[in-house]
Amino acid sequence: MGLSKEAIEKRFLRQDEAAFLDDSIPALDSHSPRQALRDPALRPKLIQLMKKRVRMHDETNLRTGETEDINWMLRELDLGEILFDPPPWRPPLVNEAGGHDDLAPMIEDEPIMVDPNRPEAPSLSEAALEVGEAEERLQRVFNLFPTAADAEKELFNSGATILGDAECVTLDWLTQEEFWNVVPFLLQAWFALVPSCCRAPEIRHESLEETFDSGLSQLTAAAGSDTSKELKSWLRSGRQPELTMGLMNEFLHALTTMPKTERPDPEAQAAITALLKAVIDQLDEALRRQRRA
């Protein structure tokens, strides 16, 4: 008896994944994953690359209802710290038209090709957004895209890597499910400052990580004071205080509508808060740096 179509596809996919381990990857300074494994200086880039690949694989599972994982690749690369339990079975995502949602995967083994005709994102004015404009921009995002998948696709097409970077810096703080829950707010923050169809401004991974770590430490200290005044003061200390406060209000409202069993614990909530503020601050910095160039 011959193999089924699904079995043949899985066999070819496994062969492609095995070949990937020995391919030259631009994100690894043109080294292969196996070569990067032996270079301590490339390990952070290798972890980031494989984290994105895990997410891409699980997005495929979410679309198809499969329960495959790529832990075998992580074990071969000695990346036990990012091993994940195989995902539970979930019914495939179906859109209103009856078809599968096409979540745009991140391409790891070749650079994202950005349309050179896309205009540069407009610069920000010297002053931070006022409360009315910040609220209007956050609300406008809901009208830009029919679904979060459409927003994510536009984000990738712009050349942005913010979702992969954000996931990487919160690796020790958020589960994959918790990170997925924060993606809509990251998209909202991005498109509140960067219009659709523009080239993505460059957010430096190291700067995002540093801002997140510093912010989480400050937030933890503010929370320890047990005063809402300290927390609000910290939230408003960034580059776009009204936008940050507006987005946090959206996040807090979403928390109240979540089932308690799905609600992030206080530690994860703090990490999400620090992440959203860090992304807004770094995006503001990138747009202003672009203006000065």
Over the stretch 67-117, which tens digit does the pLDDT of each residue have? 677 888 888 899 887 776 655 554 444 444 444 344 333 334 344 456 678
Higher pLDDT, 228 or 133: 133
pLDDT score of 15 more than 80: no
pLDDT score of 36 more than 60: yes
Q: What is the percentage of the chain residues whose pLDDT exceeds 70? A: 77
- Residue 106's pLDDT is 39
Distance of alpha carbon 228 from alpha carbon 232, whole angstroms: 6
Structure tokens at 126: 């010297």
Residue 289 burial (CB count, 10 A)? 14
Most trustworthy range by pLDDT among 56-65, 118-127, 185-194: 185-194
pLDDT score of 263 more than 50: yes
pLDDT score of 238 more than 60: yes
Q: How confident is the model at residue 17 (pLDDT cuts 50, 70, 90)?
A: confident
Higher pLDDT, 5 or 189: 189
pLDDT score of 228 more than 80: no
Average pLDDT over every residue of 55-77:
72
* 234-264 core/surface letters (b: 16 or more CB in 10 A; e: else): bbeebbbbbbbbbbbebbeeeeeeeeeeebb
pLDDT score of 45 more than 50: yes
Q: How confident is the model at residue 225 (pLDDT cuts 50, 70, 90)?
A: low
Distance of alpha carbon 63 from alpha carbon 81, whole angstroms: 26
Higher pLDDT, 10 or 74: 74
Terminal C-alpha separation, the chain:
64
Q: How confident is the model at residue 58 (pLDDT cuts 50, 70, 90)?
A: low
Average pLDDT over every residue of 207-220:
93
pLDDT score of 223 more than 80: no
Lowest model confidence (mean pLDDT) among 96-110, 144-158, 224-238: 96-110
Average pLDDT over every residue of 245-268:
85
User: Nearest CA to 243 among 292, 203, 178, 189?
Assistant: 189
